[in-house]
Amino acid sequence: MVTIDTGNTAWVLVAATLVFFMTPGLALFYGGMERSKNVLNTIIESFFLIGVVSVEFMLIGYTLIFGSDVDGVIGNLDKIGLIGTQNNIMDGVNIPEMAFVAFQCMFAVITPAIMSGSITGRMRFAPFVVFSVIWSLLVYNTMAHWVWGGGFLAQLGALDFAGGLVIHILSGVSGLVLCLLLGRRRGYGRMPMLPHHLPMTVLGGAILWFGWFGFNAGSALGAGPLAANALVTTQIAAAIGVVGWVLAERYHRGKPTVLGAVSGGVAGLVAITPAAGFVTPVAAIFVGLIGAICCYVAVAILKNKLGYDDSLDAFGIHGVGGMWGAIATGLFATVSVNPDGADGLFYGGDLLLPQLVSIIVAVLFSIIGTVVIFKVVSLFMDMRVSIGAESLGVDISEHGEEAYNQSEFKSSGRFITSDHHSLV
C-alpha cells in the first residue's frame, strides 16, 4: 500500500493557493495599466475566468490533459468529471491526485487571463468569456496534453517545467492574434493612453512575483531539492529582470520608470518559468537578464515599428519571454539539476532542437486556434464594443459601473480625466 507523503502534499496544496493568488494579482497588474474608464472590465476579465475556467477544467479539461494518451494528440475521457481521482495516489511523489488537480486547475485559470491583456478597452465582455472558454477547452487543454500529458511533444523530448510553452507562448501569441483581429483602439497612436494607477500595477506585480514561487517551485510536486532549486532560480531571474529592464530603459529613453521595473520583474519570471527546474542558479541570471532585454525590445521598439495595438503587452512580455525561456532551456538545462530532464546545448546535449520544434508548434497552434475560434464566435456575437461605448468606457457600457465615483468632482467643479487622473 502506497503511503501519502504529507510533506509533499502540503507543499503542493500551498503552491496551488499561491498560483490561485496570481490571477487576482494579474487583475491588479493589468488594471493599473489601463485607463480609469476601463479598469473594472480589465479586472473582471481575469476574475470571472477563475470561476468559469475552473468549472470547465474540473468537468473535462483535466481528463483531456492527463487522461490516457490517445495517439499523442489528446487524453481520453476516463477522468471526466474527475472520476477515479478522489482516492488515487500519484506514484513517485506520493501525493493525492486531487492535490495535483487543484494545482493544475490554477494554471488553466491564469492562461486565458494573461491573454486578456492584449485586448482591453475594446472587446465586449460576453464574447470574451465565450471565446476564452472555447479556447481553454480546445487550445490550452490540447497543448498541455502535448507537453505535460504524454503527447507527441513530450515524446519528442521537449521540456517545459512550469509553463513557458503551455501558458506563456500560448497566451501571448493568442493575445497578439486577438488584438490584430479586433483592430486598434480608437485614437491609438494619436492620443495618450497612459496607466491610470501605477501603485495598483506595482501591487499586482508584487503579488505575481510572490505567487510565482508556487507556480515554479510547486511544479516539482514535492518539498525537496528540486523545489528549492526552482524557487532560487525564480528569484534570481526575476531580480536580474528588474535590473536588466531598467538599465535598458535608462539607456534607451534616458529615465528609469516604476512601470519598467515591475515589467522587468515579470519578464524575468516568464523567462525562467520553462527552465526553473532544469537550470542552475548561475544560468538563471542569463535567462532572466536576456529575457528582460528581449521583452523590452519587443515592447518599446518592435510594437511601435510594426504598429500593432497589444494594449498591455501580453505578447511583448509573455509571448516573447516564453519563447526565450523555451530556447534557454534548450541551452542551459542540465541533468545535474534534474535527472529526469536532459542536457542542453551548453552541456553537450541535443535538447535545443526539440525546444525549437515545440516553439514553432505552439506559435502555429495558437494562431490557427485563435483565428478559427474568433471567426466562429463572431458569427453569433459582436466582438467589439461600439464607437460610443469605447469612447464612454467599457466599465459603464459593459458593466454599468465606475471604478471611481467622479460625481463629487463634477459637482464641485473638478473632474478626473480618464487618461491622466489629473484634476482639471
pLDDT, tens digit, for every residue of 196-224?
A: 999 999 999 999 999 999 999 999 999 99
Q: What angle do CA 187, 193, 196 make, to 5 degrees?
A: 150
**Which helix (H) or strand (E) element contains residue 104?**
helix 97-115
Question: What tens digit of pLDDT does each residue of 245-276 get?
Answer: 999 999 999 999 999 999 999 999 999 999 99
Fold of 6-378: Ammonium transporter fold (1.10.3430)
- Which residues lie closer than 8 Å to 129 by C-beta, 6 or more apart? 48, 49, 52
Residues of the chain with pLDDT under 70: 1, 406-424
CA-based nearest residue to 345, from 278, 268, 281, 269 = 278
CA-based nearest residue to 310, from 176, 167, 192, 110 = 176
Question: What tens digit of pLDDT does each residue of 384-407 get?
Answer: 999 999 999 999 999 999 999 765
- Which residues lie closer than 8 Å to 176 by C-beta, 6 or more apart? 118, 308, 310, 314, 315, 319
Contact 242, 26 (CB under 8 A): no
**Which helix (H) or strand (E) element contains residue 236?**
helix 225-253
Predicted local distance difference test score (pLDDT) of residue 9: 97
Q: What is the 8-class DSSP label of residue 88?
A: -
Predicted local distance difference test score (pLDDT) of residue 407: 59
Contact 414, 153 (CB under 8 A): no
Distances (CA, A) of 379 to 127, 369, 384: 11, 16, 13
Cross-strand partners of 75: 69
- Which residues lie closer than 8 Å to 190 by C-beta, 6 or more apart? none
Predicted local distance difference test score (pLDDT) of residue 1: 66
| Total-model pTM | 0.94
- List b or e across 135-173, with b for residues whose CB sees 16 or more CB atoms inside 10 angstroms: bbbbbbbbbbbbbbbbbbbbebbbbbbbbbbbbbbbbbb
Q: What are the extents of the domains in the chain?
A: 6-378
Environment class of residue 330 by beta-carbon count within 10 Å: exposed (0-12), middle (13-18) or buried (19+)? buried
